[in-house]
Amino acid sequence: MCGIVGYVGYREAYPIIIKGLKRLEYRGYDSAGAMIYDGESLKHSKTKGKVTDLESRASAEISLNGSIGMGHTRWATHGVPNDVNSHPHFSNSGEISIIHNGIIENYEPLKKELINRGYTFTSDTDTEVLVNLIEEVQRKENLKIGKAVQVALNQVVGAYAICVFDKKYPDQMVVARLGSPLAIGIGKDEFFVASDASPFIEYTSNAIYLEDEEMAIIRKDKPVKVRKIKDDTLVDPYVQELQMNLEQIEKGGYDHFMLKEIYEQPNVIKDTYRGRLHANEGIIQMAGVEDNLEKFTNAERILIVACGTSWHAGLVAEYIFEEFTRIPVEVEYASEFRYRNPIINKGDVLIAISQSGETADTLAAIKLAKEKGAFVFGVCNVVGSSISRESHAGAYTHAGPEIGVASTKAFTTQITVLTMIALRLAKAKGTLSNSDFHRYLQELEVIPEKVADALLTNDVSKEIAAKFKDAPNCLYLGRGYNFPVALEGALKLKEISYIHAEGYPAAEMKHGPIALIDESMPVVVIAPKQGHYDKVVSNIQEIKSRNGKIIAIVTKGDIQVRGLADFVIEVPDTTEALTPLLTTIPLQLLSYHIAVMRGCNVDQPRNLAKSVTVE
């Protein structure tokens, strides 16, 4: 995890770095630091806490004049979050500085060897070992900094995106990547380095995304040279045109990114299906699917791997794919999949779902599936991300940057993409009747308006939030398509409000969780008219007779559940398979308001980071 930013050019580096770090705080925010070279020395400041804490400290400690520098926002792996463990780290001579996102797995033997050679260490980090290894290699072999970085990286096991500056080469910065993302923004006589393109989108729309095992030397007035770390071969880098704009990554008048992103859902769902769904013509077209249609239709099974919210979208997709296409589907946590020697057959299709496209476990699961001969299809949001590049084919969700750590619009756009894929395959396989196919297309097309309608539940969600904000526990129940929504509702609540919450299939309640129910237990029941309604009503009755407090998500106009529940939130009616796109909205709002009322940091909940690029 962690976010890195670097600048080499003619402007003041410090404000660019600070602003960039704020945009990357979603990657980690337990400490922050920056280094500016002012023409004489490496001025730096670092602190436990957020980028704003760094700002208050840096003005006294750091020279603000300098047009080359780097910054880091951390999510701790080795060493607790404190000032000393914060980046940048410096070599023993004080001449070389480094920022690092990743983990050096063999840092302990390397550290021992360096200690034997007289090196000392002030932090507990693996990164301080790496910067001293670079210095040692440079000293021993009398190498320029670029070469020294390359030789050192060839001794390292692990993952990294790094930025290295050496005072002896004051016009350049060395960057490298393996397993952690690194983008180079290309301006006129200036270059930017960052974990993603958000820190530099107002300066340039051209970027190079380094591939794994590549490095580059960046000088203000020279083209970027990219090389393979292992064998030093020169690579012709692909300069990509960025699709992001500044407005997309600012809060746009909302108090939090999460709320902004919840409200963006009607528009981004439209963006997701724009150009792909033509309801009147009865057409669904997605290039990645069309080009590989036979692989999908011949598949004997589809495996879905993902983590967190993306895994929940995968579970919804399991219901949709099996219902529409009759292809068997297995959904698995990527972290489990990669470590259990799974059976993968040549004809299997593996769908990897990831908002960031950088989740380490999902990436590793893809690599494993590829080794075993599966066809890998990525469903990612971040364009050019590692998972999208590592997949054989894929479809972007086009949700725009999701900054809030709690995933919201990623979930609904993932479901939208997956529904479209399932519909396309159903058409090709003939597993849905023509009328059902057309009905689903029409329903999907109007879903954005229905999501907008579901957002009108904000006030009632807020009122209910006020009643339950102090509850220590909460249970979420749903059946069928809405069982994964129950899991997702519980995840949203726990991650941003720190209330313990569990999601269960409603029918499983009597196999254990019912023991938890008493008058102090809020139970959120997802009970739309479409899908096992009567069964869910019975479950609600079981909760009621044990005095549980029932918050029910129902279809507009529902009378039966209204008569039983303590609170109801109404969403528009839709076809059963699409209900998750609506029922999830009030759950997002409920969690959001509870977290705000509890004074929690909604966009940056404790201990979390937006993209989990470590195991």
The answer to whether 406 contacts ligand M6R (rule: CB under 6 A) is yes
Q: Which is nearer to ligand M6R, 66 or 314 (CB)?
A: 314
- Give the whole-angstrom CA distance, residue 184 versus residue 607: 28
The answer to whether 354 contacts ligand M6R (rule: CB under 6 A) is yes
Q: Which is nearer to ligand M6R, 374 or 406 (CB)?
A: 406
Q: How far is the CB of 594 from ligand M6R (least distance, A)?
A: 15
Q: Which of 31, 85, 359, 412 binds ligand M6R (CB under 6 A)?
A: 359
Query: Which among 22, 50, 492, 610 is annotated as catalytic?
Result: 610
Q: How far is the CB of 396 from ligand M6R (least distance, A)?
A: 13
Q: How far is the CB of 353 from ligand M6R (least distance, A)?
A: 7
Q: Which is nearer to ligand M6R, 133 or 596 (CB)?
A: 596
Q: Which is nearer to ligand M6R, 272 or 356 (CB)?
A: 356
Structure tokens of 542? 């079981």
Q: How far is the CB of 88 from ligand M6R (least distance, A)?
A: 26
Q: Which of 92, 388, 611, 613 binds ligand M6R (CB under 6 A)?
A: 611
The answer to whether 335 contacts ligand M6R (rule: CB under 6 A) is no
The answer to whether 390 contacts ligand M6R (rule: CB under 6 A) is no
Residues binding ligand M6R: number (CB under 6 A) = 16
Q: Which is nearer to ligand M6R, 199 or 401 (CB)?
A: 401
Q: Which is nearer to ligand M6R, 67 or 397 (CB)?
A: 397
Contact indicator for 131, 90 with CB cutoff of 8 Å: yes
Q: Which is nearer to ligand M6R, 310 or 431 (CB)?
A: 310
Q: How many CB atoms lie within 10 A of CB 63?
A: 18
Q: How far is the CB of 42 from ligand M6R (least distance, A)?
A: 34
Query: What length is written for the chain?
Result: 615
Q: How far is the CB of 260 from ligand M6R (least distance, A)?
A: 15
Q: How many CB atoms lie within 10 A of CB 404?
A: 24
Sequence-ordered alpha helix ranges (H) in 478-601: 483-497, 533-544, 579-597
Nearest to 101 by CA among 21, 9, 38: 21
- Give the whole-angstrom CA distance, residue 486 versus residue 265: 19
Print burial letters for 112-133: b (CB count within 10 Å at least 16), e (below 16): eebeeeebeeebebbbbbbbbb
Q: For the sheet containing 239-241, what is the strand order?
A: 42-48, 31-37, 68-74, 3-8, 191-194, 183-186, 206-209, 239-241
Q: How many CB atoms lie within 10 A of CB 240?
A: 16
Nearest-CB residue for ligand M6R: 308
DSSP-assigned beta bridge partners for residue 142:
none
Site string for ligand M6R, 407-436 (x = CB under 6 A): x-----------------------------
Q: How far is the CB of 309 from ligand M6R (least distance, A)?
A: 3
Segment 287 to 316, residues that bind ligand M6R, using CB under 6 A:
307-310
Q: How far is the CB of 462 from ligand M6R (least distance, A)?
A: 20
- Give the whole-angstrom CA distance, residue 289 versus residue 349: 12
- Give the whole-angstrom CA distance, residue 378 versus residue 390: 8
Q: How far is the CB of 405 from ligand M6R (least distance, A)?
A: 5
- Give the whole-angstrom CA distance, residue 179 versus residue 556: 47
Q: Which is nearer to ligand M6R, 271 or 570 (CB)?
A: 271
Q: Which of 138, 180, 195, 356 binds ligand M6R (CB under 6 A)?
A: 356
The answer to whether 355 contacts ligand M6R (rule: CB under 6 A) is yes
Query: Which among 2, 163, 307, 380 is annotated as catalytic?
Result: 2
User: Which span sits near ligand M6R by CB under 6 A: 64-72, 140-148, 350-358, 542-550?
Assistant: 350-358
Nearest to 340 by CA among 364, 359, 376, 311: 364
Is residue 610 annotated as a catalytic residue, yes or no? yes
- Give the whole-angstrom CA distance, residue 363 versus residue 352: 8
User: Which span sits near ligand M6R by CB under 6 A: 62-70, 401-409, 432-440, 565-573?
Assistant: 401-409
- DSSP-derived secondary structure for 18-67: HHHHHHHGGG--SEEEEEEE-SSSEEEEEEES-HHHHHHHHHHHS----S
Q: Which is nearer to ligand M6R, 307 or 540 (CB)?
A: 307
User: Which span sits near ligand M6R by CB under 6 A: 31-39, 84-92, 356-364, 580-588?
Assistant: 356-364
Q: How far is the CB of 312 from ligand M6R (least distance, A)?
A: 8
Helix, strand, coil content of the chain in percent (nearest 5): 40, 25, 35
Contact indicator for 530, 554 with CB cutoff of 8 Å: no
Q: Which is nearer to ligand M6R, 9 or 478 (CB)?
A: 478
The alpha carbon of residue 554 and the mean position of all alpha carbons in its chain are separated, in whole angstroms, by 30
Contact indicator for 454, 572 with CB cutoff of 8 Å: yes
The answer to whether 495 contacts ligand M6R (rule: CB under 6 A) is yes
CA dihedral 113, 116, 122, 123 (to 10 degrees): 20
For the chain, the distance separating the N- and C-terminal CA atoms, rounded to the nearest angstrom, is 10
Q: Which of 468, 612, 613, 614 binds ligand M6R (CB under 6 A)?
A: 612
Q: What is the phi-psi region of residue 480: left when phi exceeds 0, alpha when psi lies from -120 to 50, beta otherwise?
A: left
DSSP-assigned beta bridge partners for residue 184:
193, 208
Q: Which of 405, 415, 486, 595 binds ligand M6R (CB under 6 A)?
A: 405
Q: How far is the CB of 449 from ligand M6R (least distance, A)?
A: 25
Is residue 163 annotated as a catalytic residue, yes or no? no
User: Which span sits near ligand M6R by CB under 6 A: 214-222, 271-279, 325-333, 354-362?
Assistant: 354-362
Structure tokens of 3? 């976010």
User: Which span sits near ligand M6R by CB under 6 A: 17-25, 34-42, 59-67, 400-408?
Assistant: 400-408
Q: Which is nearer to ligand M6R, 457 or 588 (CB)?
A: 588
- Annotated catalytic residues are 2, 610
Residue ranges binding ligand M6R (CB under 6 A): 307-310, 354-356, 359, 362, 405-407, 491, 495, 611-612
